[in-house]
Amino acid sequence: MTMKRTLLTVFTLGFVLVFGSLAAAQTVDSLPSWNDGKAKQSIIKLVATVTEKGSPDFVPPAERIAVFDNDGTLWAEQPMYFQVLFALDRVKALAPQHPEWKNKEPFASLLKGDVKAAMADGMKSVVEIIMATHAGMTTAEFETIVSDWIATARHPTTKSPFTEMVYQPMLELLTYLRANGFKTFIVSGGGIEFMRPWAEGIYGIPPEQVIGSSIKVKYELRDGSPALVRLPELDFYDDKEGKPVAIHQQIGRRPIAAFGNSDGDLQMLQWTTAGQGPRFALYVHHTDAEREWAYGRKSSMGRLDKGLDEAQAKGWTIVDMKQDWKVIYPNEKK
Amino acid sequence: MTMKRTLLTVFTLGFVLVFGSLAAAQTVDSLPSWNDGKAKQSIIKLVATVTEKGSPDFVPPAERIAVFDNDGTLWAEQPMYFQVLFALDRVKALAPQHPEWKNKEPFASLLKGDVKAAMADGMKSVVEIIMATHAGMTTAEFETIVSDWIATARHPTTKSPFTEMVYQPMLELLTYLRANGFKTFIVSGGGIEFMRPWAEGIYGIPPEQVIGSSIKVKYELRDGSPALVRLPELDFYDDKEGKPVAIHQQIGRRPIAAFGNSDGDLQMLQWTTAGQGPRFALYVHHTDAEREWAYGRKSSMGRLDKGLDEAQAKGWTIVDMKQDWKVIYPNEKK
């Protein structure tokens, strides 16, 4: 290479580096599955605001904490929470070891396929099913059970793997926030140990940033080897008032952005937006009966009623899934 | 600048970038306060092992979790845990609002300066003092109280601020591990909210990576504003068997390296080293009566007895503070 050509290369490289990156920042759409509208613009504005150096609203990266509900916010939750479907599958799998379940509710009804009868006692039934299927093994064993299930189980109506029923626009949002220095956390009413085995691969959220409900575990030595054994006892229920409590205990810093879809997330959004400086709250509103499900004010699962009122009153971002999202699931992408 | 000089600059820059960084990696001592010896070499070997690409012992950065006890491991803990000294100061500060304490133990003895009599009921006394001084305010108020105290309080014998009684060799170790892709966590028997206000500034460990004991908190709306109120009720005691449990609940991934100084850390070290692949455990042994304190097998605070036996039997790294550390505190550095 001649001296002249080398120099040319150096200058060209410099030009590409400086102007290319500027151009990229201005033209690449980080949220391609979002229709242009108020919701998308509010997200872009948040990121622009907190990353603008020298601005009074600049937020240092360490404080750019964003918290996401999971069920109904990052993935679907109909016809019932996917973790409940997991528990029902586990009841079937464990039934041969529990002949007594044939005559014992809620298991007897479940094994006959009558979910409604099984749930007759409401939360009491759910707790019994969860404890029978989520406790009594080591944490390593439970991780394997969840990993095996999530790799093979299919949704009852779409027949898709559950990990393909995550929301493509939200995946883009997670990536976009992280690319702008945010640290993303899940804060879910679901079980921590049900989410951790796949959350990193699907959402890019490592186990230490997954917060949720938990049962107690006990440390013991088994033949000299340490094990953590899952006990049939609730440790923490991460819903409603529990969410800001868990955020405080496990993150220890108030988030600047919170994302939810139901009244169970309201306290998390209140807590997040009550801090000083720029704050952001977003509700995903399920309005698309055709591509997903439409529910909200009167739904027994994922009810969004008080939260919707407060979001409207306070000017929080409300995502109208039908209007705001070009696609729902990753597989719809062209 | 002529073409020739520009080219020269470009080549020189390239040379400096490529060879300079190689040289730096080979010659800069990341642990200058550690004497060359088995302990220092074992740490360097750990880092070399897990970061060597293509090696069967390579550990991806996301799995390079390192957990550190705090009292006696990252900072001193004599003549008693610094958080207890904080609580005693708080009793004095709060006494005017509690005239009944004059006739109520353990407060009466404490206010007379008789710590031994105050502790007559052991853990019961400690719990009463902790709850009287650590609960009953919002989390924001407590953070201010801790921040004010840590900025002004002095150690009873050294007269140093407590944040200057951290161990310089351990500060270097934290930095060295993070520079090699490790994520560093505190896992302490001390209170999470007592550590978080200063751990980031002193140790470079953000609030979400501080794990410890906690009391319960409650979410409530005060005049429409959300607040988290600290309740006089233990939530979690993060010591002994509690440490692997807390690591599981809050990190969700088994650490590959664990650092402690007492029998209270033993289960954490067992849990860490029982995993597959390269594993590392280190005990700081307090052997320097002159520069710090010498204690261990028979100490009531920071006892290292069973742990020392197990460390010797299993070949864990044991730091002999007197032999292995050139300096103890940052201010001793020349």
pLDDT tens for B197-231 read: 999 999 999 999 999 999 999 999 998 899 999 99
Q: What is the pLDDT of residues B215-224, one digit of tens each?
A: 999 999 998 8
Instruction: Note whether B274 contacts A226, CB cutoff 8 Å.
Output: yes
Instruction: Note whether A235 contacts B248, CB cutoff 8 Å.
Output: no
Can you read off the two tokens belonging to residue A222? Answer: 């088994």
Q: What is the pLDDT of residues B247-302, one digit of tens each?
A: 999 999 999 999 999 999 999 999 999 999 999 999 999 999 999 999 999 998 89
Please give chain A's pLDDT, 334 residues, in tens.
455 555 555 555 554 444 444 444 456 899 999 999 999 999 999 999 999 999 999 999 999 999 999 999 999 999 999 999 999 999 999 999 999 999 999 999 999 988 889 888 887 888 899 999 999 999 999 999 999 999 999 999 999 999 999 999 999 999 999 999 999 999 999 999 999 999 999 999 999 999 999 999 999 999 889 999 999 999 999 999 999 999 999 999 999 999 999 999 999 999 999 999 999 999 999 999 999 999 999 998 899 999 999 999 999 999 999 999 999 999 986 5
- Which residue of B183, B200, B217 is in closest CB contact with A248? B217
Instruction: Note whether B274 contacts A7, CB cutoff 8 Å.
Output: no
- Which residue of B65, B226, B248 is in closest CB contact with A228? B248
In the 8-state DSSP scheme, what is residue B157?
T
Residue A12: what pLDDT? 52
CA end-to-end span of chain A, whole Å? 44
In the 8-state DSSP scheme, what is residue B196?
H
Residue A3: what pLDDT? 52
pTM of the entire structure?
0.91
- Which residue of B10, B183, B228 is in closest CB contact with A248? B228
Spatial CA neighbour of B266 closest among B317, B308, B237: B308
Instruction: Note whether A217 contacts B6, CB cutoff 8 Å.
Output: no
- Distance between CA atoms of A200 and A204, rounded to whole angstroms? 4
Contacts of B6 in chain A (CB under 8 A): 7, 10
Backbone angles phi, psi at B38, to 5 degrees: -60, -40
Instruction: Note whether A252 contacts B217, CB cutoff 8 Å.
Output: no
Split at pLDDT 50, 70, 90, the class of B10 is low
Residue A51: what pLDDT? 98
Which has more confidence, B76 or B25? B76
Buried b / exposed e across A114-125, counting CB within 10 Å, b at 16+?
ebeebbeeeeeb
Judged by phi (left if over 0) then psi (alpha if -120 to 50, else beta), residue B138 lies in: beta
Q: How would you class A140 by CB atoms within 10 Å of its CB: exposed for 0-12, middle for 13-18, buried for 19 or more?
A: exposed
CB A269 within 8 Å of CB A258? yes
Instruction: Note whether B192 contacts A249, CB cutoff 8 Å.
Output: yes
A62: nearest CA in chain B? Answer: B206
3-state secondary structure chain A: CCHHHHHHHHHHHHHHHHHHHHHHHHHCCCCCCECCCHHHHHHHHHHHHHHCCCCCCCCCHHHCEEEECCECCCECCCCCCHHHHHHHHHHHHHHHHCHHHHHCCCHHHHHCCCHHHHHHHCHHHHHHHHHHHHCCCEHHHHHHHHHHHHHHCECCCCCCEHHHCECHHHHHHHHHHHHCCCEEEEEEEEEHHHHHHHHHHHHCCCHHHEEEEEEEEEEEEECCEEEEEEEEEEEECCCCCHHHHHHHHHCCCCCCEEEECCHHHHHHHHHHHCCCCCCEEEEEECECCCCCCECCCCCCCCCCCHHHHHHHHHCCEEEEHHHHECCCCHHHCC
Choosing among B249, B270, B272, B310, which should be mutated to test the A contact, i.e. which has the most A CBs within 10 A?
A: B249
Choosing among B219, B237, B314, which should be mutated to test the A contact, i.e. which has the most A CBs within 10 A?
A: B219
Q: What is the pLDDT of residues B159-176, one digit of tens each?
A: 999 999 999 999 999 999
CB B241 within 8 Å of CB B151? no
Choosing among A1, A5, A219, A256, which should be mutated to test the B contact, i.e. which has the most B CBs within 10 A?
A: A219
**Cβ-based interface (< 8 Å): residues of B facing A:** 3-4, 6-7, 10, 62, 65, 139, 183, 192-193, 196, 200, 206-210, 214, 217-221, 225-226, 228, 235, 241-242, 244-245, 248-253, 267, 270-271, 274
Judged by phi (left if over 0) then psi (alpha if -120 to 50, else beta), residue A224 lies in: left
- Distance between CA atoms of A216 and A274, rounded to whole angstroms? 32
A247: nearest CA in chain B? Answer: B208
Instruction: Note whether B249 contacts A271, CB cutoff 8 Å.
Output: no
Instruction: Note whether A271 contacts B226, CB cutoff 8 Å.
Output: yes
Residue A46: what pLDDT? 98
B219: nearest CA in chain A? Answer: A241
Instruction: Note whether A252 contacts B193, CB cutoff 8 Å.
Output: yes
Instruction: Note whether A248 contacts B200, CB cutoff 8 Å.
Output: no
Choosing among B1, B221, B250, B267, which should be mutated to test the A contact, i.e. which has the most A CBs within 10 A?
A: B250
Split at pLDDT 50, 70, 90, the class of B24 is very low
Residue B126: what pLDDT? 84
DSSP conformation letters of B241-309: THHHHHHHHHT-S--SEEEESSGGGHHHHHHHHTSSSS-EEEEEE-B-TTTS-B--TT-SSS--SHHHH
Instruction: Note whether A252 contacts B210, CB cutoff 8 Å.
Output: yes
Instruction: Note whether B217 contacts A274, CB cutoff 8 Å.
Output: no
* Cα–chain center distance at B119: 25
Choosing among A228, A256, A273, which should be mutated to test the B contact, i.e. which has the most B CBs within 10 A?
A: A228
What pairing do the DSSP bridges indicate for beta strands B280-285 and B183-191?
A: unpaired
B197: nearest CA in chain A? Answer: A252
What pairing do the DSSP bridges indicate for beta strands A317-320 and B65-68?
A: unpaired
- Distance between CA atoms of B190 and B175, rounded to whole angstroms? 22
Split at pLDDT 50, 70, 90, the class of B26 is low
Locate tokens 């409300």: which residue? A318
User: Which residues does A20 contact at the CB level (< 8 Å), separation at least 6?
Assistant: none
